[in-house]
A and B are shown apart, each in its own frame.
Chain A
Amino acid sequence: MTLLSALFDLLLLATLLWLAWRLLASADLFKAVVLFIAFSLLLALAWVRLNAPDVALAEAAIGAGITGALLMVALGRLSPEDACPHRLHPTLGQRLSAPLLISLAVPAAVAILLSSLLTLPETAAGLAPLVTSHLAQSEVAHPVTAVLLNFRGYDTLLEVAVLVLAVLGIWCLGEAQVLTLPGSVSPVLLGMTRVLLPVLVLTGGYLLWLGGHAPGGAFQAGALLAAGAVLWLFAGQMLSSRWSDLPLRLLLLLGFQVFLATAAVPVLQGNLLLAYPPGWAKTMILLVETLLAGSIAAVLAAAVIGGRPACAPQSFPPAGQADEEKQQ
């Protein structure tokens, strides 16, 4: 490790820690959200330095872009008093307990981490040799994709289930509110959206195809497609009730259901769960990844909208009135 890369890592680490402290300690929620977006950007750089470009791609797409938009929308739905809370006036006991706990917990945690760090071997190959030796068997060229969708496909299946549950949870909280300001959209924004949308879809497809042999894959592609959907929504577009009723729900579930089906079919043939039939693995993985990308895009976009479609025939998210501001 050269001096420059060590300096880079140290600066990155210190900034991440400091940012985390500042954003948690910020009384103004909007400032905290913007600090969080900056934090996600720097965290993507940290993943790059940890030699994990797949995670860096996902962090850049989801953490910086989608989560930023999601938090902005959530902020917009808070009442102004909730968004800028008054400073708390803690009691003496509360004032003392925090420094006491921190001065006990932090040295203990640092000691545990340092001692376990010292017992680590100089170089650890980890599971990489095992994965590489079985890579041909998985029928994908990229080890990360092989692990995610073949060797540990079970984990990915459960992750997708968690995503679907997350949308269910968000939809249980309430109906979708008006997402963007009513009134005319700037033509500059419309022009940029017109250019970015096809580029986003193309790049999503590129990352999906790339996932077979290089960093990329379904989650990154889904995040890019979701970014396209979010731009489309903020440009003033809405899904008509015809599309937000059954088709949207089908799209949300499609990835998970197809993945579950491909996992269950071997069981019906007397094999283990997710044991792809030899020769079919590449096709099944490609099919699952493509549909997963679509579903993940729908899930993330639905999360940004932040509410379920209304029962009455209404667009999703609902349109706002031009003459009055809908605050809640």
Chain B
Amino acid sequence: MAEFCLGLALLLLLMIVAGLVRVLRGPTAADRMLATQLFGTTGVAILLLLGQAFAAPALWDAALVFALLAAVAAVAFVRRVGTSEHARREDNRGD
């Protein structure tokens, strides 16, 4: 079971690496930001699996913290000042 969980965690880590491509390519700011949402959820899954693999309940607490804070950066992105002017300029420019 431990090896199985570790194998699944490895697969999920590969998916995070794949998702990074979206952050790099964009093209809009929203694209980059929503990739972090995937990283947050996959990170929670990885931490849960690692906690099971190494019998460490502290990692489940870390997963809880991840889950709670996943939203904070995204909320800051959506609600920051200067966003409409700058974002419109950036979206038109592309990347």
The answer to whether A234 touches B76 (Cβ under 8 A) is yes
Residues of A within 8 A of B72 (CB): 65-66, 68-69, 227, 230-231
Task: Report the Cα distance A245→B69, complex, angstroms.
Answer: 29
The answer to whether B80 touches A72 (Cβ under 8 A) is yes
> B51-91, CB under 8 A of A: which get 1 and which 0?
00000111101101110111111011111111111100110
**Known contacts A11-B13, A37-B36, A65-B73; is-contact A224 B68 (Cβ 8 Å):** yes
> Taking the complex as formed, is B17 at the interface, i.e. its CB lies under 8 A from any CB of chain A?
yes
Residues of B within 8 A of A69 (CB): 72-73, 75-76
> Taking the complex as formed, is A151 at the interface, i.e. its CB lies under 8 A from any CB of chain B?
no
Could you say which of A45, A65, A180, A234 contacts B69, with CB atoms under 8 Å apart? A65
| SS class, residues of chain B in contact with chain A | helix
The answer to whether B71 touches A192 (Cβ under 8 A) is yes
Could you say which of A34, A44, A214, A326 contacts B66, with CB atoms under 8 Å apart? A44
> Taking the complex as formed, is A253 at the interface, i.e. its CB lies under 8 A from any CB of chain B?
no
The answer to whether B43 touches A44 (Cβ under 8 A) is yes
Task: Please name the residue on chain B nearest to A31 by beta carbon.
Answer: B32
- Name the distance in Å between A101's Cβ and chain B's nearest Cβ: 26
| SS class, residues of chain A in contact with chain B | helix
The answer to whether A73 touches B26 (Cβ under 8 A) is no
**Known contacts A227-B72, A326-B81; is-contact A8 B89 (Cβ 8 Å):** no
> B21-46, CB under 8 A of A: which get 1 and which 0?
00110100100110110011001001
Task: Report the Cα distance A48→B35, complex, angstroms.
Answer: 22
The answer to whether A37 touches B6 (Cβ under 8 A) is no
| B-binding segment of A54-62, A115-123, A125-133, A155-163 | A54-62
The answer to whether A8 touches B9 (Cβ under 8 A) is yes
Residues of B within 8 A of A177 (CB): 81
Residues of B within 8 A of A45 (CB): 13, 43, 46-47, 50
Interface core residue of A69, A200, A304 (most chain B CB under 10 Å): A69
If A34-B36, A178-B81, A196-B71 are given as contacts, then 15 extra A-B residue pairs at C-beta distance below 8 Å, sorted by A number, are A4-B6, A11-B10, A30-B32, A37-B39, A38-B16, A38-B39, A41-B66, A44-B43, A45-B50, A60-B69, A65-B70, A73-B80, A76-B81, A234-B79, A325-B81
- For this complex, 22 residue pairs linking A to B, each with C-beta atoms less than 8 Å apart, are A4-B10, A28-B95, A37-B73, A38-B36, A45-B47, A53-B58, A53-B62, A60-B69, A68-B73, A69-B72, A72-B73, A76-B80, A76-B86, A80-B89, A179-B81, A199-B68, A203-B65, A224-B68, A227-B68, A227-B72, A325-B84, A325-B85
